[in-house]
């Protein structure tokens, strides 16, 4: 593990004139003149729907997909939210092992619903620290404050998102791309984990609803441009031939009409056993319900919660967390909504945004392995790629041993038959 | 179904029609009503050919029918109990026989033979044959499915439906048999028709008469009719060439069948529906290369590695009675069903939890909603109504999923709610070619183009369609009708109402493509076929797109 306290700050000038501040673990070497071995860039276009990739709005992503191996059957994993899926990408294990099942959970110890954005929330090792421990350089360029929060200082080189857009809590893709390019120039990491947040954030805040997604379209177009800029930079600096890009989303997006909202809080409050004893962590398309009463009453309480939830208009299904490979952090019951609906808990006005994810309708994601590395080959695979497959795929590229207990994912190396290193 | 058949007003056969019916008939010199089933003696004990079906990774079902004695004619109930041997080899010369066995048969199952062979290797071509005494059957070729979960670069198969003996020759089957690129053939139903000669044919022309020369209603009739179809050289050639995966539609029993009756069934004159249906199902189980026995479940799922799985539906056995007309409010009654609740649960659970990339559904009747424009002429509407059912008010086909909107909403809702992608319905029944997207919500589709799946519909092998019904040359009157339908239904990307023929489907990780081939003349036993159109569904898109390039 990296010694977090011993770090240095790097101030890097960028092509767009902005200065980027990176922090690095002590002893991280600056870029060597010519890169050795593969450089792997995991680019997460947050919230991108697979059917949004096309020649008009996202020509760069389309070209990259066609040049690499495309996994059209790819899906996000429960809960289809940002933090758990980013954690699965970097750990290669499911939430019952990482401790990170959703963005928002009810913290029994603190007695409050909170975001899982603390470094200690993530149990076990990630690629960022495991690869760094082998002497390689890893980097994180995460546009969202809570992602920066949970991954903390695990990477050898980190960028803290800045400037932050108020309300959305994320840095715009232009700034994120500046940081990504600056980090590659400065430290040339073997692995960079990058989250581009604009497409998702604009999806959430786009109030134009189901039929007019003008802002979303503009974000897709703009994000595609910054990806194009990054690719061009890799080419211009002679890195393309050693680059492997894993491009995917953490989840997709589903739009709901204003009247299609579900408030389970009011439903639960009508039951005398459950009244004021159910905590609800709302995750857009999924509600995580925790019974806060005595353990002796839990079984009966959960049965009632399930019955009441399933009788509610717009609810798709209810699951024991273990069924979804979620640990105790997910509470007692996970409730999904149908497509075109959203949860708004604890209050009926808590979730005013039309674009949501967390429910199964938002599981399909884009997922392709591309780049100029000679081992990358064009093609399409039926394999059921998942977000949890990113870590084993990257690990295999670097010949990294599996973590304790093995991976829960599978290396998707159809396009890269041999480990180049 | 399908083209509504006028089951009353059947004209007696003219002498000219009888003569047109074919040289074989003329040569025997027999009167029409005494037409024997295929000449068993001439062809030996294996007069009905060999077939295979329902491939699994390590097994496949083999089929034949033996005629061990002259009196053991199909449907006769006569003839001895016999034991039939079968052999499966890795080569056509049978130098490497890998499996063999023996099956007993007799008059109780009309001397049909089914051997469910196990212990084979996945994704492998095999040759098979049967022996009865010293007689050896023709050799058949078959192929096992790929290993469970394995990567598969390509699956290619023929898709056919609606093969009416009386309406023409099965050139479509011959053209499919002559290809060497197919892994199997999917038959979506109306494999045979129940009508008497003169009941339903090629427009006004009886190309070749049915045997027995009556509407089939009894077990003997159903057996004899199956036997007659299996004497067709083109059908026999195709069965011997590749395995079939089949389901029935209505004509395997009677037109517009439902769980309690059929449009073309009259009680008590034609017996009880339960009895007639049981007879049709028994004959089907006996005569078709399908893993189905009477009283069992026809709907089933066949997997092709990680690439695809094929869910074959039975949309006749469990369905509620058709609505009386398209404005009948029962169309959306949630208590009515086209699948039955058990099959619906099986279908949706399978789609939602599928481990395969492409979820193919062998779907006997169309699921895409179809509304007919009000601008069509009365004559055009009448012709359409014969294809689709009665037209009054909002024209929809109440025999399709359009007549059971609650079940359709359940299926399409499951696809949408669970984010299921790459579901393709492969459909027959309507005697015309269609390519459609399946709107998540038909009202908002024109704005959002949100589609949850696609549907590709093959045309009929021979059965009548619009130009036949209107009595006009192909590609004349229908062209305007097709355009009007597309305007009224923006999710329908292709409608072709004239041609007969077959389709070829290719499934790869990148796309599903259907090529439609049209026969030059269904009444010509040597008819040529030409490529008519191709549509592709690219992975992850839920959209159909025309492509100029047929499969190579
Ligand atoms: Zn996200």
Asked if A262 is an interface residue toward chain B (Cβ–Cβ < 8 A), one would say: no
Mean pLDDT of A330-344: 94
**Tell me, what CATH number does A141's domain have?**
3.40.720.10
User: What is the structure's pLDDT at A201?
Assistant: 81
pTM of the model: 0.89
CB pairs under 8 A between A and B: 71
Residue A367, strand partner residues: A248
Q: Using an 8 Å CB-CB cutoff, list chain A residues near B437.
A: none
Neighbours of B104 (CB within 10 A): 11
Scanning the structure block, which residue is given the tokens 């083109």? B234
Question: What distance in Å separates residue B508's CA from the closest CA in chain A?
Answer: 8
CB of A50 within 8 Å of a chain B CB? The answer is yes
pLDDT reading at A32 higher than 60: no
Which H or E element spans position A289?
Answer: strand A286-291
Provide φ and ψ at A70, rounded to 5°.
Answer: -100, 135
Same domain, A323 and A377: no
Cα pseudo-dihedral B536, B537, B538, B542, rounded to 10: 160
Q: Tell me whether residue A407 is in a domain.
A: no
Same domain (yes/no): A16, A37: yes
Q: How far, CA to CA in Å, does A221 sit from each of A5, A55, A215, B166?
A: 40, 10, 10, 59
| pLDDT band with cut points at 50, 70 and 90 for residue B475 | confident
Q: Does A382 touch chain B (CB under 8 A)?
A: yes
**Is residue A214 very low, low, confident or very high in pLDDT (cuts 50, 70, 90)?**
confident
The conformational region for residue B452 under phi > 0 = left, psi -120 to 50 = alpha, else beta, is alpha
Residue A218 has pLDDT above 90, yes or no: no
Q: State whether A140 and A211 are in the same domain.
A: yes
Domain-located, residue A417: no
* Tokens 């040049």, residue located: A67
Domain boundary among the residues A357, A389, A416 is at A357
Cβ-defined contact of B419 to A210 (cutoff 8 Å): no
| CATH of residue A289 | 3.30.1360.110
In terms of Cα–Cα distance, which of A237, A220, A190, A174 is closest to A55? A220
pLDDT the model gives residue B236: 97
Q: Distance from the CA of A56 to the center of ligand 1, in angstroms? A: 23
The partner residues of A39 in beta bridges, in order of sequence, read A243
Contacts of A364 in chain B (CB under 8 A): 419, 421, 540
For residue A171, pLDDT over 80 is answered with yes
Of the residues A339, A357, A375, the one at which a domain ends: A357
Sheet strands (E) in A303-395: 315-319, 333-337, 342-343, 355-356, 367-370, 379-380
Residue A96 within a domain: yes
Q: How confident is the model at residue B25, as a pLDDT?
A: 33
Please tell me whether residues A160 and A192 are part of one structural domain.
yes
Q: To the nearest whole angstrom, how far is the Cα of A51 from the nearest Cα of chain B?
A: 6
Asked if the Cβ–Cβ distance from A72 to B539 is below 8 Å, we say yes
Alpha carbons B118 and B435: distance in angstroms, whole number: 37
**For B93-125, what is each residue's pLDDT tens digit?**
999 999 999 999 999 999 999 999 999 999 999
Q: Is residue A203 part of a domain?
A: yes
A191-196/A39-45 β-pairing: parallel
> Could you tell me if B461 and B170 are in contact, meaning their C-beta atoms sit under 8 angstroms apart?
yes
d(CA B140, CA B217): 32
pLDDT of residue A97: 98
B 338-397 residues inside an 8 A Cβ radius of A: 355-358
What residues contact B7, with CB distance under 8 A and at least 6 apart?
A: B195, B199, B200, B215, B255, B263, B264
Task: Measure A222 CA to ligand 1 centroid, in angstroms.
Answer: 17
> Which domain, by its residues, includes A269?
261-357
Interface confidence, given as ipTM, is: 0.90
pLDDT at B153: 94
With b for 16 or more beta-carbon neighbours within 10 A and e for fewer, the A374-394 pattern comes to: ebbeeebbbbbbbbbbbbbbb
In this structure, are A120 and A148 located in the same domain? yes
For B288-339, write each residue's pLDDT tens digit. Answer: 999 999 989 999 999 999 999 999 999 999 999 988 777 777 888 888 999 9
Return phi, psi of residue B37, to 5°.
Answer: -60, 175
Ligand 1 centre from A55 Cα, in Å? 23
Inter-residue contact A368 to A69 (CB < 8 Å)? yes
- Same domain? For A348 and A374 the reply is no
Element (H, E) at B538: strand B529-538
Domain assignment present for residue A107? The answer is no
Longest dimension (CA), chain B: 69
CB A38 within 8 A of CB A397: yes
- φ, ψ of residue B257 to 5 degrees: the values are -70, 150
- Is the separation of the CB atoms in A243 and A371 below 8 Å? yes
User: Is B455's pLDDT higher than 80?
Assistant: yes
User: In degrees, to the nearest 5, what angle opens at C-alpha A359 toward C-alphas A355 and A364?
Assistant: 85
Cα(B241)–Cα(B158) distance, rounded to whole angstroms?
Answer: 12
Say if residue A280 is in the same domain as residue A248. Answer: no
Mean pLDDT of chain B: 86
What's the CA-to-centroid distance between B447 and ligand 1, angstroms? 26
To the nearest whole angstrom, how far is the Cα of A214 from the nearest Cα of chain B?
Answer: 13
* Nearest residue to A288 via CA among A327, A249, A232: A327
Residue matched to tokens 């359409």: B384
Measured CA to CA, the distance from residue A264 to residue A292 in angstroms comes to 15
Q: Is the pLDDT of residue B440 over 80?
A: yes
Instruction: Indicate whether A64 and A82 sit together in one domain.
Output: yes
Q: Do B421 and A339 touch (CB under 8 A)?
A: no
Chain A residues inside the 8 Å CB shell of B541? 51
| Residue B235: band (very low, low, confident or very high) from pLDDT cuts 50, 70, 90 | very high
CA within 13 Å, CB half, A230: 33
- Same-domain check for residues A179 and A90: yes
Confidence of residue A18 (pLDDT cuts 50, 70, 90): low
Cα-Cα-Cα-Cα torsion B305, B311, B312, B315, nearest 10 degrees, comes to 180
- Coil, strand or helix: which one is A180? helix
* Cβ within 8 Å, pair B151-A381: yes
Question: Does residue A273 lie within any of the structural domains?
Answer: yes
Across the interface, which of A360, A364, A380 has its CB nearest the CB of B509?
A: A380
Whether A109 is covered by a domain: the verdict is no
Over residues A95-124, the pLDDT tens digits come to: 999 999 999 999 999 999 999 999 999 998
Nearest residue of chain B to residue A49 (CA atoms): B540
The conformation of residue A350, written as its DSSP 8-state character, comes to: S
Query: What is the reported pLDDT for A296?
Result: 97
Query: Would the CB atoms of A338 and B448 count as touching at under 8 Å?
Result: no
C-alpha distances in angstroms, B254 versus B190, B258, B270, B457?
10, 9, 11, 22
Q: What are phi and psi of B411, to 5 degrees?
A: -70, -50
- How many domains, in total, are found in chain A? 2
DSSP letters of B224-289?
A: HHHHHHTT-HHHHHHHHHS-EEE---STTT-TTEETTEETT--TTTT--HHHHHHHHHHHHHHHSS
A258 touches B at CB < 8 Å: no
Q: Which residue has the tokens 């390590």?
A: B58
Residues 6+ apart with CB under 8 A from A198: A46, A143, A170, A172, A173, A219, A222, A223
Identify all chain A residues contacting B508, using CB atoms and an 8 Å cutoff. 380
Confirm or reject contact between B305 and chain A (CB < 8 A): yes
**Span A143-157, pLDDT tens digits:** 999 999 999 999 999
Q: What percent of chain A has pLDDT over 70?
A: 88
Residue A57 within any structural domain of the chain: yes
Inter-CA distances, B281 with A288, B5, B163, B276, Å: 50, 22, 18, 9
Provide, as residue numbers in chain B, all residues whose Cβ is less than 8 Å from the Cβ of A72.
Answer: 357, 421-422, 509-510, 539-540
Per the CB < 8 Å rule, is B151 touching A51? no
Given CB atoms, is B541 within the 8 Å cutoff of chain A? yes
Q: Is B100 helix (H, G, I), strand (E, B) or coil?
A: strand
What span, in angstroms and rounded, lies between the C-alpha atoms of B325 and B258? 15
Residues of A within 8 A of B540 (CB-CB) are 50-51, 72, 364
Q: How far apart are CA B419 and CA A385, in angstroms?
A: 15
User: Are A152 and A284 part of one and the same domain?
Assistant: no
- Mean pLDDT, rounded, for B248-275: 91
CB proximity B421 to A under 8 Å: yes
Same domain, A234 and A378: yes
Could you tell me if A140 and A271 lie in one domain? no
- Per the CB < 8 A criterion, the answer to whether B122 and B104 are in contact is no
Dist CA A27 CA A34 (whole Å) = 19
Q: How far is the CA of B309 from the centre of ligand 1 (A)?
A: 31
Q: How far is B462 from chain A (nearest CA, A)?
A: 36
Distances (CA, A) of B455 to B86, B182, B184: 39, 21, 20
Domains in chain B, please, with CATH? Answer: 15-31+146-546 (3.60.21.70)
Cβ of residue B151 closer than 8 Å to a chain A Cβ: yes
- Whether residue B173 contacts residue B234, with contact meaning beta carbons closer than 8 Å, is answered with yes
Separation CA B388–CA B409 (nearest Å)? 21
Instruction: Report the alpha-carbon distance of residue B465 to residue B43 in Å, rounded.
Output: 35
Phi-psi region of A46 (alpha: psi -120 to 50; beta: other; left: phi over 0): beta
Q: Is the pLDDT of residue A66 over 50?
A: yes
Q: What is the CA radius of gyration of chain A?
A: 21
Q: A91 falls in which pLDDT band (50, 70, 90)?
A: very high
* Interface contact B419-A364, CB threshold 8 A: yes
Range B128-155 average pLDDT: 96
Going by their DSSP bridges, the two strands A39-45 and A243-248 should be labelled as: parallel
């Amino acid at each position: 593990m990296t010694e977090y306290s011993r770090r240095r700050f790097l101030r890097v000038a960028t092509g767009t004139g902005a200065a980027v501040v990176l922090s690095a673990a002590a002893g991280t070497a600056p870029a060597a003149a010519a890169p050795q071995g593969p450089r792997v860039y995991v680019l997460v276009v947050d919230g991108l729907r697979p059917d949004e990739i096309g020649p008009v709005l996202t020509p760069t992503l389309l070209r990259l997909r066609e040049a690499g191996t495309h996994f059209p059957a790819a899906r996000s994993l429960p809960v289809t939210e940002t933090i758990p899926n980013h954690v699965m990408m970097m750990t290669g294990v499911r939430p019952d092992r990482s401790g990170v099942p959703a963005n928002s959970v009810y913290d029994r110890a603190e007695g409050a619903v909170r975001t899982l954005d603390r470094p200690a929330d993530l149990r076990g090792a990630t690629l960022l620290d495991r690869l760094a421990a082998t002497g390689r350089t890893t980097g994180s360029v995460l546009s969202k404050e809570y992602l920066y929060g949970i991954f903390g200082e695990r990477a050898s080189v980190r960028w803290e998102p800045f400037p932050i857009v108020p309300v959305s809590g994320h840095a715009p893709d232009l700034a994120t791309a500046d940081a990504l390019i600056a980090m590659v120039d400065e430290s040339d990491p073997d692995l960079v984990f990058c989250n581009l947040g604009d497409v998702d954030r604009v999806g959430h805040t786009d109030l134009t609803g189901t039929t007019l997604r003008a802002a979303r379209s503009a974000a897709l177009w703009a994000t595609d441009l910054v990806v194009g800029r990054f690719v061009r930079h890799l080419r211009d600096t002679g890195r393309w031939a050693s680059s492997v890009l894993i491009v995917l989303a953490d989840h997709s997006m589903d739009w709901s009409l204003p009247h299609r909202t579900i408030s389970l809080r009011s439903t639960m409050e009508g039951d005398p056993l459950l009244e004021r004893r159910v905590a609800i962590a709302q995750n857009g398309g999924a509600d995580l319900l925790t019974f806060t009463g005595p353990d002796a009453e839990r079984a009966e309480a959960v049965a009632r919660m399930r019955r009441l939830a399933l009788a509610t208009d717009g609810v798709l299904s209810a699951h024991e967390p273990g069924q979804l490979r979620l640990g105790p952090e997910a509470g007692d019951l996970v409730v999904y909504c149908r497509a075109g609906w959203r949860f708004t808990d604890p209050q009926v006005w808590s979730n005013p945004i039309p674009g949501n994810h967390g429910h199964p309708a938002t599981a399909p994601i884009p997922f392709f392995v591309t780049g100029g590395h000679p081992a990358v080959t064009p093609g399409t695979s039926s394999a059921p790629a998942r977000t949890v497959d990113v870590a084993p795929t990257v690990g295999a590229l670097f010949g990294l041993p599996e973590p304790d207990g093995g991976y829960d994912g599978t290396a998707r190396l159809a396009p890269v038959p041999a480990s180049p290193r | 179904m399908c083209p509504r058949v006028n089951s009353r007003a059947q004209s007696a056969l003219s002498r000219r029609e009888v003569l047109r019916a074919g040289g074989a008939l003329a040569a025997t010199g027999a009167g029409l009503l005494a037409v024997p089933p295929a000449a068993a003696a001439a062809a030996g004990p294996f007069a009905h050919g060999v077939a295979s079906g329902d491939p699994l990774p390590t097994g496949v079902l083999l089929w034949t029918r033996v005629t061990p004695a002259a009196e053991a004619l199909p449907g006769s109930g006569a003839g001895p109990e016999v034991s039939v041997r079968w052999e499966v080899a890795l080569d056509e010369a049978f130098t490497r026989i890998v499996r063999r066995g023996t099956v007993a048969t007799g008059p109780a199952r009309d001397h049909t033979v089914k051997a469910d062979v196990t212990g084979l290797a996945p994704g492998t071509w095999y040759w098979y044959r049967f022996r009865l005494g010293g007689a050896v059957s023709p050799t058949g070729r078959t192929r096992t499915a790929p290993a469970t979960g394995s990567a598969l670069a390509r699956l290619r198969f023929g898709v056919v439906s609606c093969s009416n003996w009386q309406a023409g020759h099965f050139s479509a089957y011959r053209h499919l048999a002559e290809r060497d690129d197919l892994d199997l053939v999917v038959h979506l139903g109306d494999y045979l028709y129940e009508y008497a000669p003169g009941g339903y044919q090629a427009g006004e022309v009886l190309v070749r008469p049915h045997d027995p020369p009556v509407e089939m209603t009894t077990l003997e009739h159903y057996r004899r009719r199956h036997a007659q179809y299996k004497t067709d050289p083109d059908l026999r050639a195709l069965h011997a060439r590749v395995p079939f995966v089949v389901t029935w539609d209505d004509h395997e029993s009677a037109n517009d069948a439902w769980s309690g009756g059929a449009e073309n069934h009259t009680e008590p004159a034609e017996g009880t529906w339960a009895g007639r249906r049981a007879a049709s199902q028994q004959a089907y189980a006996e005569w078709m290369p399908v893993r189905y026995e009477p009283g069992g479940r026809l709907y089933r799922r066949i997997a092709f590695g990680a690439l695809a799985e094929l869910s074959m539906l039975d949309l006749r056995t469990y369905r509620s009675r058709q609505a009386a007309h398209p404005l009948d409010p029962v169309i959306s009654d949630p208590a009515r069903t086209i699948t039955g609740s058990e099959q619906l649960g099986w279908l949706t659970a399978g789609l939602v939890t599928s481990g395969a990339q492409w979820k193919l559904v062998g779907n006997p009747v169309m699921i895409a909603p179809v509304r007919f424009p009000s601008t069509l002429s009365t004559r055009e509407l009448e012709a359409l109504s014969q294809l689709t059912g009665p037209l009054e008010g909002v024209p929809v086909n109440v025999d399709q999923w359009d007549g059971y909107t609650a079940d359709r909403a359940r299926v399409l809702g499951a696809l949408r709610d669970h984010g299921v992608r790459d579901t393709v319905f492969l459909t027959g029944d309507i005697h015309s070619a269609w390519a459609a997207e399946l709107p998540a919500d038909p009202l908002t589709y024109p704005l959002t183009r949100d589609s949850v799946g696609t549907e590709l519909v093959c045309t009929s092998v021979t059965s009548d369609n619009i130009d036949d019904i209107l009595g006009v040359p192909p590609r004349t009157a229908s062209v305007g009708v097709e355009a009007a339908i597309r305007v009224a239904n923006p999710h329908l990307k292709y409608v072709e109402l004239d041609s007969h023929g077959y389709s070829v489907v290719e499934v790869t990780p990148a796309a599903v493509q259907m090529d439609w081939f049209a026969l030059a003349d269904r009444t010509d036993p040597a008819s040529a076929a030409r490529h008519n159109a191709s549509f592709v569904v690219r992975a992850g898109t839920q959209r159909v797109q025309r492509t100029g390039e047929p499969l190579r």
